């Protein structure tokens, strides 16, 4: 399953990649991680249908993950589920505004991120099985 990780910060992308590993849970498919550092590159990838699940850094610069999430939910047909990493727990209301499907906060807790991502991967897999059945 293609998991897109968006952040301008290479360290954040590396922490997310380490938290995911080959698969975030034993019952989900292996994660093919695609790292993206810029908003234009992410939009091109989404336009090409190259994502099953996304992990977006709410603190990314210059285009933050919250705004990017909202844009994707508004503009991308069958938008992949989004795990949003927010700067602080008090930003949860902004994650709701962005229509993120799951939220974790900085500093990244690897177990929490893996658990949230696994849930979104299960959701996406179930949705695709229902469409093709």
| Residue 95: per-residue pLDDT | 86
- 57 backbone dihedrals φ, ψ, rounded to 5°: -85, 115
Ordered structural domains, the chain, with CATH? 2-112 (3.40.50.2300)
62: pLDDT confidence band, cut at 50, 70 and 90?
very high
| Residue 127: per-residue pLDDT | 78
| Residue 121: per-residue pLDDT | 97
Instruction: Give the three-class secondary structure for 128.
Output: helix
Give mean pLDDT, residues 35-61: 96
Query: pTM of the prediction?
Result: 0.92
Token representation of residue 77: 């047909």
Give mean pLDDT, residues 48-73: 95
How far is residue 104's CA from residue 117's CA, in Å, rounded to a whole number? 10
Is 93 exposed, middle or buried, given 0-12, 13-18 or 19+ CB atoms closer than 10 A? exposed
Q: With contact defined as beta carbons under 8 Å apart, do 43 and 12 qualify?
A: no
The strands making up 53-57's β-sheet, listed across from edge to edge, are: 32-36, 2-6, 53-57, 82-86, 102-105
């Amino acid at each position: 399953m293609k998991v897109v990780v968006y952040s301008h910060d290479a360290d954040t992308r590396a922490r997310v990649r380490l938290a995911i590993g080959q698969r975030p849970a034993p019952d989900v498919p292996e994660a093919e991680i695609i790292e993206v550092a810029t908003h234009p590159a992410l939009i091109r990838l989404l336009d090409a249908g190259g994502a099953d699940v996304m992990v977006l850094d709410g603190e990314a610069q210059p285009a933050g993950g919250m705004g990017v999430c909202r844009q994707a939910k508004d503009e991308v047909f069958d938008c992949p589920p989004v795990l949003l990493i927010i700067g602080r727990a008090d930003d949860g209301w902004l994650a709701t505004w962005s229509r993120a499907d799951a939220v974790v906060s900085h500093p990244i807790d690897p177990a929490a991120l893996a658990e949230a991502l696994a849930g979104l991967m299960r959701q996406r897999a179930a949705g695709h099985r229902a469409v093709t059945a």
